[in-house]
Chains A and B, each alone.
Chain A
Amino acid sequence: DSGVTQTPKHLITATGQRVTLRCSPRSGDLSVYWYQQSLDQGLQFLIQYYNGEERAKGNILERFSAQQFPDLHSELNLSSLELGDSALYFCASSVGSAAHNEQFFGPGTRLTVL
């Protein structure tokens, strides 16, 4: 158990809908990262927050947004969902914001868009 929790574990929804994925980092970690893992794209970095502020952005679509709240939990919002958004979404956390910090991964949320 990494100490990172993600809810829900599974999510099934329809095209055009909007969903919110939630992540609680390990106690004491200030950075939260979001990744998308799919069969064709592999593991793709989406976005990172550090202590409530956006720190780095990867291949995140404009239909996707994220935020980190004062209690350090984070939410990833996916809107106007398409079939291709079906994937496993991971959250990770680390104590600092730099690349050398070990990232601890949550169990993931499996999103299925029908």
Chain B
Amino acid sequence: AQSVTQPDIHITVSEGASLELRCNYSYGATPYLFWYVQSPGQGLQLLLKYFSGDTLVQGIKGFEAEFKRSQSSFNLRKPSVHWSDAAEYFCAVGNGGYQKVTFGTGTKLQVIP
């Protein structure tokens, strides 16, 4: 069965600093990988996704993620964090065989001045 691990429950960074959120997945074949963001009181919004091809994918709001098959990872990065990036971030994995997408437990990002 597919699974996703986000080892960091909570991360605090200073505004302007770089950010990396970790995600490890478990799936036998090449997975479909997603990062979603949830702002307080809102639903989830897709930041970026990876299906195949270039392992470095660009998303909205200046985010990028890199698929590393050897490490079963899909970490999310941003070079300079803005206060508006404070939110909860979810990594998710799906596959082409059926429709279920499995979400990680989320990482809450706090941005301090």
Indicate if the CB atoms of A99 and B106 lie closer than 8 Å. Answer: no
- Residue of chain B at shortest CB distance from A44: B103
B-binding segment of A11-19, A69-77, A78-86, A105-113: A105-113
Does A63 sit at the interface, judged by CB under 8 A?
no
Task: Tell me the count of chain B residues lying within 8 A, CB to CB, of chain A.
Answer: 23
A95 to B77, CA, bound (A): 28
Indicate if the CB atoms of B98 and A100 lie closer than 8 Å. Answer: no
- Residue of chain B at shortest CB distance from A57: B100
Binding site for A on B (CB under 8 A): 32, 36, 41-46, 49, 51, 90, 94-96, 98-106
Knowing that A42-B105, A50-B99, A99-B100 are A-B contacts, what are 8 other residue pairs whose CB atoms are under 8 Å apart, sorted by A's residue number? A4-B43, A35-B103, A43-B90, A45-B103, A48-B100, A99-B94, A107-B41, A108-B43
